[in-house]
Amino acid sequence: MKKKWYLLIVALLSLGMVLTACGGGDKKEEPADNAEKGEKTEATDFKAAMVTDIGGVDDKSFNQSAWEGLNAWGEEHGLKEKENFDYAQSTTKADYMPNITRLVRDDYNIIFAIGFELKEDVEKAADQYPDTHFAIVDDIVEKDNVASVVFKEHQGSFLVGVAAAMKTKTNKVGFVGGIDSPLINKFESGFIAGVKSVNPDIEVDVQYAESFGAPDKGKIIASNMYNNDIDVIYHAAGGTGNGVFNEAKDIKKSDPEREIWVIGVDRDQHEEGQIGDHNVTLTSMVKRVDVAVHDLTNKAMNGEHHGGETLEYGIEEDGISVATTNEDAMTQDIIDAVKEWENKILSGEIEAPKTREETEEFIKGL
């Protein structure tokens, strides 16, 4: 009799082990990627990356600002570069798709494409990898797995145009663009409108380098402008703009008494203008790409991907601002004027133009 009870107990224990190994009956195993279900993912399990345009991650402008945003996200959650966040450097347009593909295969949960030039490749990647979440900065991709981030650059450009008009003593200012495109035309258009709002008689020389990664071209263009009595240049040219700063600093070094200025873009480029006891950075049109990247990465980690949506950042959203770091150059009267025009934009009294056609109409109404 004891032997029968012993055998029965052994059988019951064996059955329990089998049920446990099979997952405990009706209990279902949760999928590993909760982000796919729109649920929060632990930071240590979440990976974010970005693909630069040809300006590079250290362009001291657009790409660098985006990378600073990813770094801020990593620091916030105590994460390490390469393990949870990384970037892929592009030196030519041919690098875009291979860089995107590599990051997809490395299982990054969200991949940022930094710049409108990546649009075509992002569209292809979104179709090829429907389970990967993407975000593009400075353009719109209408795909369910792509969030589009754009900015009201024309608003900030208008305001630095006001600053340039108040600072110039020659009544000649310049604009150096990277690639002649609808995006950079927003910078150009807003800047010209801001300048003309202060003084319609000021001349604005507009030139494009047709590259965001050619500081040598930026330096040549700046040299020609400064030699033609232009004393303030606003650049919207990424890494090409470094050449504008280099030329201004070279001139200032040889002639410390000459008043010559550069208006930076995307980041506060005050440091780029430092030369000895002088600084040639008048101000910068700060475009908070870092804030947008940081914000979207946190949202994606929490299951909010905003695929198929366009998120726009302007003055009202704290995505656009004007730097006042150089207190010697940005005097109180200039700051007050910029604030006055900013209030006009926010109240709807004026609308900063974003195309050349709108700028022509705007100037006619002055």
Tens-place pLDDT, residues 288-334: 999 999 999 999 999 998 999 999 999 998 899 999 999 999 999 99
Confirm if 66 and 127 have CB atoms less than 8 A apart.
no
How far is Cα 114 from Cα 137, in angstroms, rounded to an integer? 5
pLDDT category at 41 given cuts 50, 70, 90 is low
Amino acid 8: pLDDT: 41
pLDDT category at 27 given cuts 50, 70, 90 is very low
Residue 363 has pLDDT above 90, yes or no: yes
Q: Are residues 205 and 234 in the same domain?
A: yes
Q: For residue 148, list its beta bridge partners.
A: 136, 310
More confident residue, 40 or 223: 223
Amino acid 55: pLDDT: 83
Q: Does residue 235 lie within any of the structural domains?
A: yes
Q: Residues 67-83: pLDDT tens digits? A: 999 999 999 999 999 99
Q: Are residues 49 and 167 in the same domain?
A: no
Q: Residues 86-125: pLDDT tens digits? A: 999 999 999 999 999 999 999 999 999 999 999 999 999 9
Q: Are residues 214 and 354 in the same domain?
A: yes
Q: Does residue 324 lie within any of the structural domains?
A: no
Amino acid 60: pLDDT: 81
Amino acid 38: pLDDT: 47
How far is Cα 288 from Cα 267, in angstroms, rounded to an integer? 7
Residue 36 has pLDDT above 50, yes or no: no
Q: Are residues 123 and 178 in the same domain?
A: no
Confirm if 317 and 51 have CB atoms less than 8 A apart.
no
Confirm if 300 and 201 have CB atoms less than 8 A apart.
no
Q: Residues 324-344: pLDDT tens digits? A: 999 999 999 999 999 999 999
Amino acid 42: pLDDT: 62
More confident residue, 148 or 8: 148
Joined together, the tokens standing for residue 8 give: 């029965």
Q: Are residues 340 and 203 in the same domain?
A: yes
Considering only 16-25, 322-331, 349-358, which range has the smallest mean pLDDT? 16-25
CATH number of the domain bearing residue 257 = 3.40.50.2300
Interhelix angle 96-105/119-128, nearest 10 degrees:
30
Q: Are residues 140 and 164 in the same domain?
A: no
Q: Are residues 118 and 73 in the same domain?
A: yes
Q: Residues 183-223: pLDDT tens digits? A: 999 999 999 999 999 999 999 999 999 999 999 999 999 99
Q: Does residue 18 lie within any of the structural domains?
A: no
- Look up residue 9 and give its amino acid: I
Amino acid 65: pLDDT: 92
Residue 20 has pLDDT above 50, yes or no: no
Q: Does residue 15 lie within any of the structural domains?
A: no
Confirm if 316 and 346 have CB atoms less than 8 A apart.
yes
Maximum CA extent, the chain: 113
Q: Are residues 216 and 266 in the same domain?
A: yes
Q: Does residue 34 lie within any of the structural domains?
A: no
Q: Are residues 71 and 183 in the same domain?
A: no
Task: Give residue for tokens 């209408």.
Answer: 142
Strand order in the sheet with 146-151: 85-88, 48-51, 110-114, 133-137, 146-151, 310-313
Q: Are residues 136 and 263 in the same domain?
A: no
Joined together, the tokens standing for residue 237 give: 């040219």
Number of folded domains in the chain? 2
Domain coverage including residue 338: 153-286+331-364
What percent of the chain clears pLDDT 70, i.e. is strictly above it? 88
Q: Are residues 215 and 351 in the same domain?
A: yes
Query: What's 302's DSSP letter?
Result: T
Residue 1 has pLDDT above 60, yes or no: no
Closest CA to 285 of 219, 213, 190, 206: 190
- Look up residue 313 and give its amino acid: Y
How far is Cα 172 from Cα 323, in angstroms, rounded to an integer? 22
Q: Are residues 65 and 124 in the same domain?
A: yes
Cβ within 8 Å of residue 225, ≥6 positions away? 174, 176, 205, 207, 233
Q: Does residue 323 lie within any of the structural domains?
A: no
Confirm if 351 and 345 have CB atoms less than 8 A apart.
yes
pLDDT category at 21 given cuts 50, 70, 90 is very low
How far is Cα 249 from Cα 34, in angstroms, rounded to an integer? 52
Amino acid 45: pLDDT: 86
pLDDT category at 39 given cuts 50, 70, 90 is low
Q: Does residue 166 lie within any of the structural domains?
A: yes
Q: Does residue 30 lie within any of the structural domains?
A: no
